Structure formats: structure tokens, C-alpha cells
Chain A
Amino acid sequence: MSDTILKLTDVKTHFPITRGFLVKRHIGTVKAVDGVNLTVRRGEVLGLVGESGCGKSTLARTILQLVPTTSGTVVLNGRNLATSSARELLAARRDLQMVFQDPYASLNPRMTVFATLAEPLIVHRVCAPADVAARVAELMRLVGLAPRFMQKYPHEFSGGQRQRIAIARALALEPKIIVADEPVSALDVSIQAQILNLLAQLTKKMNLTLIFIAHDLSVVKHISDRVAVMYLGKIVELGLAADVIERPHHPYTRALVSAIPTPNPDTERTRQRIVLAGDPPSPINPPIGCSFHPRCAYAQAQCKVAAPALMADGVNREVACVRLADLP
């Protein structure tokens, strides 16, 4: 397909656990991302949801090659980033930028806004030294900050303003894809709305592709075109955002959706909640077979044998569950 901008094929990111100081013994593996296939289309907003520890942040970092890929390919514009050299990666990152969760931690406290926003311009030599100041001012206006704050330090800004600076930094190189890892989780509701509006408006205006990671399903539903649900390093359901969240098919997505409290007292009191037993299992020793089977109400013997692959389920929907046809 020509409008595919990023394609992940069987991506695995494993972290070894070692013990010992001089002689390191390998005692286990954290399978943070364990076989993800994903196609991102040009200009879409793809939401990525899941609970903590499901590997959504590691997947984001894998896409940017901030952590090495164990196996599989990450193909951006026909180039496999997993096997690229450092020089090629540097070039690729002009098209691929990231916004992090915590705007308090992701901005250097010793750099002014100007220094923060000028750095990518200088590193990638995208504009002449004389034009840097003008470009920084333009970026600040783009995200709704007044250019007169250029010489201020991050601590002089509120959380929402800092997140705007982080977004401006990601936009500096006019990337094609932005990966936003929980960009609004650390913000208050009223500030969250400002940042969501800004991201939605920028993706439209600049024809960006946005990979939006969050654990808040209502936020993801609001901003995304498609949504991928992750559980223990694998994608279990993928489809159009409103469709997946209003009519979830996979048993895990159903439980996840039903666990979200909704701000409506009438429906909230009467609806049936699926309360999952226990905590998500550890990615160090994920259960054999479907990783969700120990908590799944519909699990059968076959679920404990082999991990189900993501299969097409109607139009625009893929689900990884072998019992899909028998589910009520």
C-alpha cells in the first residue's frame, strides 16, 4: 500500500536480566514487546492503549530506535531502522520525533526555550544560523506561546506550557511522524483539553502522522482514527477508534472498556462491570499460549497451548483471540 508510512513486522524488544558484578549471568528476559505487527498510514492518528507494563512505551521507543530491537523490522519510508547505522538513524529522526509524558523531566532545566528549540535546528543544519531565531519564534507561535518568552527557563512555565515547548521541539524539524508517549497524563483536565486540541489541530494542519500513547481510553477515542490495544507485549485488538471502544471484541478490551469509570451517574450505577481478577502477569514469565488466558472468563484448553495471531474480524478490525466466534 502506497500510503503506508511505517511498518512494523514481528518486532520483539527483549531486555536481559543479569545478576553478578564481574561475571554477569543471564537469569531471565523481560519480553517488553513480543511480536508486534503494525502498519501506520500516512496522516492518521493511531492510538496505542494498554495498562502499565504492557509494553506500549517500549514499543514507542523501539519505533524511534531509542532501545535496540531484538528481532523484526521497523520500516520507515522503505528503510529498515532496526539495521540502520547511526548516521542513517540520525537522518531518519528528522522524520520521526517524540513527545514524552512528563514535561517536567523531558526538558533540560538549564536550557532556555530558545536553546531547547534551536538545538534540533542546529544539529540537523536545517536553517542558516541567522534564521534560527526567526524559526524558533515561528515554532513558539505555532504551539500558542508568545515568542517574548524565548529566553525563559522551563521552571518559569506551567505544566501545560512546558508540554507545548516539548511539542514545539518535536515539530522543529517538520517531521512526518510524531510519537507522543502519554502527553496529557501528567496534566489537569482543563490543561489536558488545551494540549489535545493543539495536537489535533497540528496533525491536520501539518499533515502529520501521530502515534498517540495513553492509558485513558476516552482521550484516545477522542483523538485517534484507529486504536491498537496492547496486553503483555502484544497487540490484541486493532480497529477504528470509536468502533473498538464502543463495541470491543477481544475479552481483554471488553474488560478494559468496562473498567473505565464514565462521568455519567445514570449509566455508571446500572451498568455491569467486568472486574478482572488479579494483576497483569509479569512480562518476565508470560503465560504460555494466549497471555490473557489466566484472567479471561472465556479461556479454554486451546487458549493455553498457542498464542493466537491477530486475525481479520470483519472490516477494519483485527483481533487476537481463538474463541472470537464463540464469544457472546
Chain B
Amino acid sequence: MPLLNVHDLRTHFHTRNGIYRAVDGVSFSVERGETLGIVGESGSGKSVTCYSIMGLIPQPPGRIVSGTAFFDGIDLLHCSPHQARSIRGKRVSMIFQDPMTSLNPFLRVSEQIIEPLLIHENISRSEALTRALTMLEAVGINDASKRIHYYPHEFSGGMRQRVMIAMALITKPELLIADEPTTALDVTVQAQILELIGKMQRELGMAVIFITHDLGVVSGLCDRVQVMYAGRIVETADTRTLFKAPRHPYTRALQRSIPALQTKGAELYTIPGLPPDVSKNIPGCAFAPRCEFATDRCAATNPELMAIDAKHSQACLRVQAGETLARS
């Protein structure tokens, strides 16, 4: 049984300008110990998917319209608040993009790191502090016994993200959700943090959902990748297959627009148009208006994610019909 099984998740936001379908029918699962990458451009719904699972969607304006998210047999979307609290922050934890704003500037780091322990585990403060200290050392903060009493502003960006990781991992979670944890960091610091997440994952044997827009980060870290577009999953495959043999036109277009994968100076492929307005109902494939292979049927029928083989599924009607889409 997978550790986390999300089925038909739909999270909508009711705004003055209409219903914003941020996540519109997303199903996926995560096995124990697996690293799943979720990639997509801004507004594709990758963060909202994970916020929904963690119960971080403000309601209203947000509303989880349908779906289930079974974590080890418990539906996180429909269980009692008491039950949800025993899982969130203990067995599932999350790190955020901006360590600057996600730490409380008024509290010493020590207070923030031991908070999950005091809530979820019946241990004394001094015991919790000892464990916090061990954890800070494990995430590579030198001189931890002194720096644990610092305030967040006394740390650099990379160090703050290490504190966030220590805080998320102190309860030894089975699933870590990392929402663009390195986007705000410099490349050399990003390399340190990615190395650290990989190391902690090997030590604790946890599963990781890694949200990012950077295909480069995904390729080194993740076992499996799913690509999101306009609130839907368009393709999911193991990392190697996704990079070597992408099938969905959006994934292919995305790869052709990355300078790192193209010869120097060559004109980059640009996807025409803009991402769709998800406040309007999209009857067909959300990518159809920008797709070079779209037919009338694409604009009318919403394609389901269909398996190509055991590990690879994608949602393009023409690929599903067995057509090979050659570039004109």
C-alpha cells in the first residue's frame, strides 16, 4: 500500500472574479522512502496540492471540493481535527520556500525547533532541547549549542533553511513535503541544502515530495516526476524516462525551452500564448490552445491520465490514440 494516496483532489478558490480552479482533479501516490518531484510553472497548482494535503488552505476563500488523501489508511481531508493534528507536523511535515518568512522572527530558534516535540511527544523541555541540539548538528550547523539560542535574523538564508529542515525532521516524519526549498537560495548554498535533504532522507528512510520549477533540481534528486499544468497532472514517469522520452506535448515543449538542454545561441522554443485562466471552465485539454499538435477533439474532451507502461502515464489524447507527434 502506498504511504500517501491522493485521489481526484479538487481545490477551488471562490473569489470575486469567479471560481479559481487551482487544483482540478489530481490523483497520485507516494511510496515509502520514495522521492516524488512535482514540477510546473507558477500557477500550475503544485503548491496548492500540497497545502491541501497539509490542511493549510484558508477556508474560505478556498474549498476542497472533492477528493481523498489517504495517509497510511487515514483520510487527511476528512478525518477529525484531532486525528489530523496527530499526523501533521509529526508523521508528515513540510518545509517552505522562504525561510525568511516562515520562521517566527520573535522567537528564539530553540523555541521553534522544540515546539513539535512538546506538542507531539510527551517529553520534558530539557530532553527536547537535547534532541534539538543533536538535530541542528545533524543538519550541519556548527557551534549549535550557542546558536540554538539565536533569533532567526542572526542566521543567513542557507542556515535558516537548515533550521527549517531541522524543525521539520525532528519528529522523524515518514513524509516530508518540500515546497521549493532552494528557490530563494544561491546555487552553491542550494547544492548544500539538496545534499542535506538527500542525506537526511537516507538516514531516516522517509518519503519526500519535492515541489520545484527547476527541472535541473528534479533530475538529481527525484525517483519519479510528475508535471502539472493548470491544476492537472499532464505526465508522470520515473525521472530518467521523463527526461529521455517525454511524451506529452507540454513536457516536450518545456524541455525545448530550457537553455541548458539546447545548443548555445540556438533560438529557444517558445510556447505560444499564456497559461489558461483557471477561473474559466476548461472543457478540453488545458494545454490545447498553446499546443502545436492540438485538434478540435483536444479542445472538447478533457483527457484522463492514462498509463503507457507501469511507471509512465500521460494525458494527451493524440498520444493515447497511438499517434506519434512529430515536430513540423
Contact = CB atoms under 8 A, between A and B. Distances in A.
B259 A196 contact: yes
Nearest to B222: A265
Interface in B223-263: 239-240, 243-244, 253-255, 257-262
A279 B243 contact: no
A278 B78 CA distance: 44
Contacts of B194: 261
Contacts of B156: 279
A222 B188 contact: no
| Best-buried of B191, B192, B254 by chain A (most CB within 10 Å) | B191
Nearest to B265: A222
Contacts of A222: 259-260, 262, 264-265, 268
B220 interface: yes
| Best-buried of A188, A219, A261, A280 by chain B (most CB within 10 Å) | A261
Interface string A81-110: 000000000000000000000000000000
B189 interface: yes
Interface residues of B, number: 44
Interface in A192-228: 192-194, 196-197, 200, 215, 217-219, 221-223
A257 to B, nearest CB: 9
Contacts of B157: 279
Contact of A263 (B191, B243, B270, B274): B243
A268 B159 CA distance: 25
Contacts of A200: 265, 267
B188 A261 contact: no
Given A51-B186, A197-B270, A273 B219 contact: no
B322 interface: no
Interface residues of A, number: 40
Contacts of A266: 240
B118 interface: no
Interface in B111-163: 156-159
Interface stretch (B169-177, B208-216, B293-301): B208-216
A269 B189 CA distance: 18
A189 B262 contact: no
| Best-buried of A192, A197, A242, A259 by chain B (most CB within 10 Å) | A259
B42 interface: yes
B271 interface: yes
A127 interface: no
A279 B189 CA distance: 7
Contact of A221 (B192, B240, B253, B259): B259
A264 B269 contact: no
A262 B41 contact: no
Contacts of B261: 263-264
A7 B309 CA distance: 59
B159 A189 contact: no
B200 to A, nearest CB: 15
A312 interface: no
B207 to A, nearest CB: 19
A189 B191 contact: no
Contact of A193 (B240, B244, B269): B269
Contact of A190 (B195, B243, B257): B257
A262 B260 contact: yes
Nearest to B40: A188
Interface of B: 41-42, 156-159, 186-192, 194-195, 213-220, 239-240, 243-244, 253-255, 257-262, 264-265, 267-271, 274
The 10 closest A-B pairs by CB, nearest first: A261-B216, A222-B259, A218-B260, A193-B257, A259-B191, A268-B220, A193-B268, A51-B186, A188-B41, A263-B215
